[in-house]
Amino acid sequence: MRGILTILSLVLFLSPLSGAVAARADAASYIRHLFDATISAPDGAEACSYFTPLGRFAAGQHWRGFDAGARAAFAGGFCELAAVALTRLRRLYPDLALSVIDTHVQPSRNDGPRMAWVRSSVRAGGKDWPVDWQVADPSGAAHLADMKVLGVSLAIMLRGLAARVPANAPADILRPWQRALDLALPDRHP
């Protein structure tokens, strides 16, 4: 009986641990793939599938109020915005490189999806910048939930901008985001 309890305890103890180890590896691999796929894509269109969930979160209450057509228009507009941002980043910093530092997996609540934080350093313009990536459901249908650059959350910043806008249409939300992008990464290409 004691042997069975010991084995059962070990199995129960190691099961979440092995899941967390796999989730850490999956999250780091996902971020490497996301970075490589979006930075190397010629027009930034690869970004759509990676950034759409982040855009839905950032739209906040407006997303819930949109009908299917408005949601599709918003997703398309957000995709275009992400593609423009990536194109400008590549032009401004052709030497972009990612180094993963470590990964932390948060335990799931109520058997929901886990969250993983991938701490990284992105080399741009000869400097290293701290970038943290939040990955939802890292060992399942992983998607980017947020990213923090210099400690500032992109999703929360965009959500804050969206909350100030009385949105009747997706363009109402996307306009202030476009202005923020133009301030952060001006289009200096002739």
For each of the domains in the chain, give its residue range(s) and CATH number, in order of start. Answer: 2-184 (3.10.450)
Residue 21 pLDDT: 44
> Which of 19 and 47 is assigned the larger pLDDT?
47
Task: Give the pLDDT confidence of 152-164 residue by residue, as tens digits.
Answer: 888 888 888 888 8
- Alpha carbon distance 74, 165 (integer Å): 14
Maximum Cα interatomic distance, the chain, rounded to a whole number of Å: 77
Backbone angles phi, psi at 185, to 5 degrees: -135, 75
pTM (two decimals): 0.73
